[in-house]
């Protein structure tokens, strides 16, 4: 017997009831899906012919979690969300989540409500709510530490990062990795449970092991003070985890619900949701979004890279190594290029990246020794004449705080679309967000930083010290934890000093002057078509230049 309840299908497979999420592309858990889950599970529990229940999506997507499009609309219902997640705890028959593709946010919370979990190889699991300024809202912070322990649970929820099904199995989050067909693998797992007469296993009935909660949470708060200064959501998440360790399950659930509500639609929540959408929009470049171009310009294969230049080059080389791309690092300056240094190593690279500020003679020497079909990636301040080849492109690699980073791309007049497509794919492989300039021979960051430098120089001439500027910007929220992140507001060669400065100029005046300079120039860049959209500037500055993500980026900040 088969039935359809909203966007959830109900199937009987012998004595096993299958509840199948059918809301492509990601099985987002909006109102219809949550209603369907609740009704199907209640139906299975009431049917004496049902011996066990499977909850699954497709092999490519268990569930991507809450439907973000329903946030702030009448369709969103906290009561329905919580009610749908309470039903699994009432089941008297084994309930198994069969995970393919990914189980994220509310999707993983649904899996945690089940008694057992199986997954396909390579599936990804996580609670990424912190990345949009929220906490899990249906028990994730209460069930996860009961299953995998407090330390690992804290690592997952505070980072928001995803883990593979293989890593999840080692933690005990997944009971079995199934091969081949997901449904058949789940059915075999259930048959094993029934043979062993394994009953229900509710995570709510387990306790969180924490011998020294005082020490554990004090250390975590100190860590957040260092690494997530200014953010609210991580502290709320820690409060939820502490409730899991110290309180009965239902009381912990009440704390989680309160923390989630306190964050909902607040400044941090809105700013991070803006960036969530902005980062996805940045990947949509008009020349590459047309189907004809996409089919005809596949990305090239990049197996080997040569990085020229030390300093920034070291950091770029490290990111290539982390992406399993073979790298050779070549340090050279204009004098070495002119003296005939051996550049034969350059000919082995599928891509050659010039870091720092290479002199024209360095660019010329490198170009002569490269393979004709290899890609040459130049920094944004390289002369436009250097982009005369179809395989040459401007590429600015920046690494932000805590592993974030950005790859800013600018085409030359001759740059081929296949080269742009290749660099966009490479940026994703390197774990960096990609921002593409819309007008060739103009670079977003160079224009913005030059304008900021003009106003910094004016402040310095008025008697404001470098130290005053640094303190004002950092106290406002800028992060200087990684290269490129902070102090870009000074021209190269300018360094902070310890002078008293001009006390008549207050910190808010300094911040407003520099940020307004960025915003005004950003508006001009959008008007000229250099930046494809204002949100691209927000992505660039939050991922590569230390602008606090919880404030959404300079253009978003100005709109507020």
Catalytic site residue from 129, 242, 268, 279: 129
Annotation marks residue 191 as catalytic:
no
103: which strand partners? 63, 125
Nearest 5 degrees, angle CA 266-CA 272-CA 276?
140
Three-class SS string for 437-488?
ECCCCCCHHHHHHHHHHHHHHHHHHCCCCHHHHHHHHHHHCCCCCCCCCCCC
Q: What are the C-alpha distances in Å from 237 to residues 208, 224, 250?
A: 16, 11, 17
Helix (H, G, I), strand (E, B) or coil at 24: coil
Burial of 406 (0-12, 13-18, 19+ CB in 10 A): buried
Q: What distance in Å separates the CA atoms of residue 291 and residue 86, rounded to the nearest whole number?
A: 45
Q: What distance in Å separates the CA atoms of residue 207 and residue 218, rounded to the nearest whole number?
A: 21
- The encoded tokens of residue 416 equal 């081929």
Q: 76, 56, 77: which is closest to 9 by C-alpha?
A: 56
Catalytic site residue from 109, 239, 268, 408: 109
Helix (H, G, I), strand (E, B) or coil at 516: helix
Q: What distance in Å separates the CA atoms of residue 350 and residue 376, rounded to the nearest whole number?
A: 9
The whole-angstrom distance between residue 222's C-alpha and the CA centroid of its chain comes to 24
Q: Which residues of 162-189 are buried (b: 16+ CB within 10 A; e: fewer)?
A: bbbbeebbebebbbbbbeeebbebbbeb
- Contact of 553 with 484, CB cutoff 8 Å: no
Instruction: Compute how many other C-beta atoms are within 10 angstroms of the C-beta atom of residue 13.
Output: 13
- The encoded tokens of residue 190 equal 């259930």
- Contact of 522 with 531, CB cutoff 8 Å: yes
Catalytic residues: 109, 129
């Amino acid at each position: 017997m088969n039935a359809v309840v909203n966007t959830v299908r109900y199937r009987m497979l012998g004595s096993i009831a299958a509840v199948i999420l059918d809301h492509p592309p990601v099985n987002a858990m909006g109102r219809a899906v949550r209603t369907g889950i609740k009704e199907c599970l209640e139906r299975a529990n009431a049917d004496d012919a049902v011996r066990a229940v499977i909850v699954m999506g497709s092999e490519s997507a268990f569930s991507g979690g809450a439907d973000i499009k329903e946030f702030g609309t009448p369709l969103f219902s906290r009561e329905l969300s919580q009610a749908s997640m309470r039903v699994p705890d009432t089941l008297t028959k084994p309930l198994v989540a069969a995970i393919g593709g990914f189980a994220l946010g509310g999707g993983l919370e649904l899996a945690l409500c089940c008694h057992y979990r199986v997954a396909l190889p390579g599936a990804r699991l996580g609670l990424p709510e912190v990345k949009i300024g929220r906490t899990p809202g249906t028990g994730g912070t209460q069930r996860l530490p009961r299953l995998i322990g407090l330390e690992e649970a804290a690592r997952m929820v505070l980072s928001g990062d995803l883990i593979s099904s293989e890593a999840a199995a080692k933690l005990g989050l997944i009971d079995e990795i199934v091969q081949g067909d997901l449904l058949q693998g789940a059915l075999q797992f259930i048959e094993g449970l029934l043979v062993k007469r394994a009953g229900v296993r509710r995570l709510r009935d387990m306790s969180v092991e924490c011998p020294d909660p005082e020490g554990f949470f004090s250390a975590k708060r100190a860590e957040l003070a260092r690494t997530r200064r200014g953010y609210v959501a991580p502290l709320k998440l820690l409060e939820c985890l502490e409730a899991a360790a110290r309180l009965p399950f239902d009381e912990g659930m009440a704390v989680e619900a309160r923390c989630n509500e306190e964050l909902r639609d607040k400044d941090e929540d809105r700013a991070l949701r803006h960036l969530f959408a902005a980062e996805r929009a940045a990947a949509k470049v008009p020349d590459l979004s047309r189907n004809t171009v996409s089919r005809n310009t596949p990305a090239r294969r990049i197996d080997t890279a040569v990085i020229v230049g030390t300093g920034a080059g070291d950091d770029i080389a490290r990111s290539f190594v982390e992406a399993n791309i073979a790298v050779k690092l070549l340090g050279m300056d204009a004098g070495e290029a002119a003296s005939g240094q051996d550049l034969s190593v350059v000919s082995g690279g599928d891509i050659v990246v010039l870091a720092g500020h290479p002199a024209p003679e360095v660019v010329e020497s490198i170009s002569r020794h490269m393979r004709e079909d290899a890609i040459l990636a130049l920094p944004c301040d390289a002369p436009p004449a250097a982009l005369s080849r179809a395989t040459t492109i401007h590429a600015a690699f920046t690494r932000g705080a805590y592993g974030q980073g950005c790859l800013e791309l600018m085409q030359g007049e001759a740059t081929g679309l296949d080269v742009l497509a290749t660099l966009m794919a490479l940026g994703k492989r390197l774990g960096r967000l990609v921002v593409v300039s819309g007008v060739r021979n103009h670079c977003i960051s160079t224009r913005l930083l030059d304008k900021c430098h003009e106003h910094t120089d004016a402040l310095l001439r008025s008697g404001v010290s470098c130290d005053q500027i640094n303190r004002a910007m950092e106290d406002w929220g800028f992060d200087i934890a990684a290269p490129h992140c902070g102090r870009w507001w000074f021209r190269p060669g300018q360094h902070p000093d310890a002078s008293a400065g001009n006390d008549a100029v207050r910190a808010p005046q300094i911040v407003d002057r520099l940020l307004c300079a960025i915003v005004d120039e950003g508006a001009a860049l959008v008007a000229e078509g250099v930046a494809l959209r204002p949100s691209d500037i927000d992505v660039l500055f939050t991922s590569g230049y230390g602008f606090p993500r919880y404030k959404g980026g300079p253009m978003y900040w100005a709109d507020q």
